[in-house]
Chains A and B, each alone.
Chain A
């Protein structure tokens, strides 16, 4: 449809709406679809624009593995614009790979796509308690267990002061037995800002982690053995271990 024809059609529809000539809802929907240039943009391109709008404009560059930024308020409002946009977004897995970086956002988004590789990011609460947003409830715990079982987690980036929250998230991701789970995790960043050591022994000893490229542990953690790291990882490109030397309960073994 040429630009002139389009403008004429839009004007004609507006005149009909003004005169009350026909179903106003249908008329407005037709007019809006003509105004919406995105119907002429290939869905793949439109989908990438959505991904860009969420992850770039919010400062959430996907290639930046240490990113703990949160989703902007109303990031997903574009889903409400029209049915076409909703359909395009629904078929764009990258849009559903991130639940947000606070527990409230996790609770809202964890059920949306279960097969998409997940970037599990948690930032906070910090020691002020200001951004405290609750605990890991049972549905969320189940969602994390299910993700771990299905090996659909790509990144685990957790930074918090909340010992209980950090412990329960790691526990939910920990396989019941040593085996092939968590094979698709590419990067792990765990920062414990709290005063007590978090035990990560089982998570690391039972996870496969053969695709792990980045490992960054900071703060106070307890791990019974590091043997897994040498025996299971071969692809690491970034290794950062910065432990808080103030707390050693139970005592942390020195690396050999």
Chain B
């Protein structure tokens, strides 16, 4: 594969997956320059993917990069994939402009993160696909390690469709989120609030929030109470936010609707 890339230095789009990724059995480390590349999409075993990345000399910026590594260990993510992405984000000034982040995870451990700079538009996506189903704490750590390389200050919009609780750390490190969309989650105690016994207990999370969207949510022990508690806390200093509840959700009782309307600037249900 390396020789094919070397013969074609004008490649602008390169998409390789699974068995088409080189396995480097020859141990060679010679590099290949693809200075015109605009789109890079690699999917496959994370070690093969990482080795190929190390051998490619790419332009400082791409229009689109999409990396999906299968069978990752924690070290693969924290020591290879995350540093590569961090370096990539650092090189491209577009990732210092307002960013939209989309994250998803599924029950089988697949986690995907997409980062979009809106002006001008560019995409960076990276995902991992574990071979088995890792325990929840490992999955959460995978997720945190994957989120870590994203520039934090520029993130203004965050969408989470996760098969896990949204890590508190994430909300703490991205203080400029104005739009938050959460899908497929359960409204439980401490919803979007810091752990009272944790390191951010006295911190107000999401201080810039203007819009909250909830889709396909289920209710925990206190019904809609966890949402109204959060809204009361979030708007206590006069902050105005809008709330949208959509998708397949339990019915909101009329008195709760009235209570929410008193707390938010706009309520779409």
> Are the chains A and B members of one assembly?
yes
Within 8 A of A (CB), among B6-22: 6-8, 10-22
A155 CB to nearest B CB, Å: 16
Q: Is B26 an interface residue (CB 8 A)?
A: yes
Let me know if A243 and B10 touch, CB within 8 A: no
Q: Which of A216, A226, A229, A242 has the most CB of B within 10 A?
A: A242
Identify which of A216, A236, A238, A252 contacts B19 (C-beta below 8 A). Answer: A252
Minimal Cβ-Cβ distance residue in B for A245 = B18
Q: Is B3 an interface residue (CB 8 A)?
A: yes
Let me know if A254 and B7 touch, CB within 8 A: no
Q: Is B236 an interface residue (CB 8 A)?
A: no
A226-256 CB contact bits vs B (8 Å, 1 = yes)?
1001110111111111110100000010111
Q: Given A241-B17, A243-B19, verify A234-B8 contact (CB < 8 Å).
A: yes
- Report how far A162 CA is from B42 CA in the complex, Å: 28
Q: Which residues of B contact A255 (CB under 8 A)?
A: 1, 4, 19-23
Q: Which of B8, B22, B36 has the most CB of A within 10 A?
A: B8
Of the four ranges (under 10, 10 to 19, 20 to 34, 35 or more), the interface on chain B belongs to 20 to 34
Q: Given A230-B4, A255-B1, verify A239-B19 contact (CB < 8 Å).
A: no
Q: Is B29 an interface residue (CB 8 A)?
A: no
Q: Is B25 an interface residue (CB 8 A)?
A: yes
- Report how far A233 CA is from B4 CA in the complex, Å: 8
Q: Given A240-B15, A242-B15, A255-B1, verify A235-B22 contact (CB < 8 Å).
A: no
Q: Which residues of B contact A238 (CB under 8 A)?
A: 11-14
Of the four ranges (under 10, 10 to 19, 20 to 34, 35 or more), the interface on chain A belongs to 20 to 34
- Report how far A233 CA is from B26 CA in the complex, Å: 23
Let me know if B4 and A226 touch, CB within 8 A: yes
Let me know if B11 and A236 touch, CB within 8 A: yes
B150 CB to nearest A CB, Å: 27
Identify which of B14, B25, B36 contacts A239 (C-beta below 8 A). Answer: B14
Q: Given A231-B7, A236-B10, A239-B13, verify A256-B26 contact (CB < 8 Å).
A: yes
Let me know if B19 and A229 touch, CB within 8 A: no
Q: Which residues of A contact B11 (CB under 8 A)?
A: 236-239
Minimal Cβ-Cβ distance residue in A for B18 = A245
A216 CB to nearest B CB, Å: 8
Let me know if B19 and A233 touch, CB within 8 A: no
Let me know if A256 and B10 touch, CB within 8 A: no
Knowing that A243-B18, A255-B20 touch, tell me 12 more A-B residue pairs with CB under 8 angstroms.
Answer: A230-B3, A230-B6, A235-B8, A235-B10, A237-B10, A238-B14, A239-B5, A245-B18, A245-B19, A252-B19, A255-B21, A256-B1
Query: 15 interchain pairs (CB within 8 A)?
Result: A226-B1, A229-B4, A229-B7, A231-B7, A233-B4, A233-B8, A234-B7, A234-B8, A236-B11, A239-B14, A239-B15, A240-B16, A241-B16, A255-B19, A256-B23
Which residues of A does B touch, CB under 8 Å?
216, 226, 229-231, 233-243, 245, 252, 254-256
